[in-house]
Amino acid sequence: MEGRLARTHVDHQDLVRFAEDRVNLPHDKAIEYRAQANRLGERLESYLTEHPDFSLRRIQIAGSLAKGTALRTINDIDMAAYISGASAPTDTRALLDYLAERLRKAFPNFSADQVTPNTYSVTVAFRGSGLDVDVVPILYDGDEQWYGDLVSQDDGSRLRTSIPLHLAFTRARKKAQPIHYAQVVRLVKFWARNMKAERDGFRFKSLMIEMIVAHLCDQGVNLSDYYEALQAVFTYIARSNMREKIAFTDCYPASSVGVFSEPVQIIDPVNALNNVARLYTSAQADMIVDAALDAGDAIDAAMHAPTKQETVRYWQKVFGPSFQV
């Protein structure tokens, strides 16, 4: 009875409203940001027709904006630039300088500080929207499925990847559970962002969160009730202790998954030899597990709280003080 009573204080629809008000990137903003990125792509393609020596083969939106999992707090747009040809440098620093030089030529009206090579990408700053575009180079060798060697944002290593196949992976889960897959990913990402602010040393990158929710989706977990879906995510993290290998078979057979020594093993769905969690230590994994245990306990307590005020207070342990009903 108490559990049912608590659902009258904060129910699924309250979580939907919170997501719409505080978590999700508004639809009109998503359209605006995609249009901004597309303008960059179109300008580059126009430049290519005049400068065939620039060996850009494809440029496309990547990351959370492309997947539909962006938070309201998004501060940059990820784009992938596929570069090939004998003139393209293979050294990372030289490759970024090569890309930056051509971006500056493609945008002659931009000031020098609006196109900046970073450690692993080139940032293009659009002063109108205030939103940066991070262009990540991918060395491309003509593969039909658009595999190429990406400069990893984690540590600068070269990773074999395919942006179109990554986006297809996400689309398949969104098709399996329309609305809810992407929404649960965004809610868990928002929780992780809150934990990062509250807990020194906490880290839990978005791709790992997406893969965990995708794994639960593939296991048949119903994500349509956000109370239950969030509890399922936190329970899985706690039960697995972040030590259960997660892999997918969309793009490769299970038999081709590599053997890894790292404590956390979440395998890239388009590259069986890439552990996307390879840089996470046991201590960092334990911090994620501890935070998930606390979040699960808070949701349990919210289910049985006798008053609305107490129920909201427990949900604030999950999402922070911005959670209000």
At 1 the pLDDT is: 35
At 5 the pLDDT is: 41
pLDDT tens sequence across 194-221 = 999 999 999 999 999 999 999 999 999 9
Query: How high is the mean pLDDT of the chain?
Result: 92
Q: How many angstroms separate the first and last alpha carbons of the chain? A: 21
- The mean per-residue pLDDT over the stretch 302-317 comes to 94
* Count, residues in the chain: 325
pLDDT tens sequence across 26-64 = 999 999 999 989 988 888 888 877 877 778 888 899 999
Residue 259 and residue 273: Cα distance in Å, rounded?
A: 8
Four-point Cα dihedral 260, 266, 270, 271, nearest 10: -10
- The mean per-residue pLDDT over the stretch 292-320 comes to 95
Residue 231 and residue 161: Cα distance in Å, rounded?
A: 32
- The mean per-residue pLDDT over the stretch 147-162 comes to 89
The alpha carbon of residue 103 and the mean position of all alpha carbons in its chain are separated, in whole angstroms, by 25
Q: What is the pTM of this model?
A: 0.94
Least confident of 122-126, 172-176, 215-219: 122-126
Residue 78 and residue 65: Cα distance in Å, rounded?
A: 8
pLDDT over threshold 90, residue 287: yes
Residue 212 and residue 266: Cα distance in Å, rounded?
A: 8
At 189 the pLDDT is: 98
Report yes or no: 123 and 76 within 8 Å, Cβ to Cβ: yes
pLDDT over threshold 70, residue 4: no
Q: Which of 180, 182, 184, 204 has the alpha carbon at shortest distance from 194?
A: 204
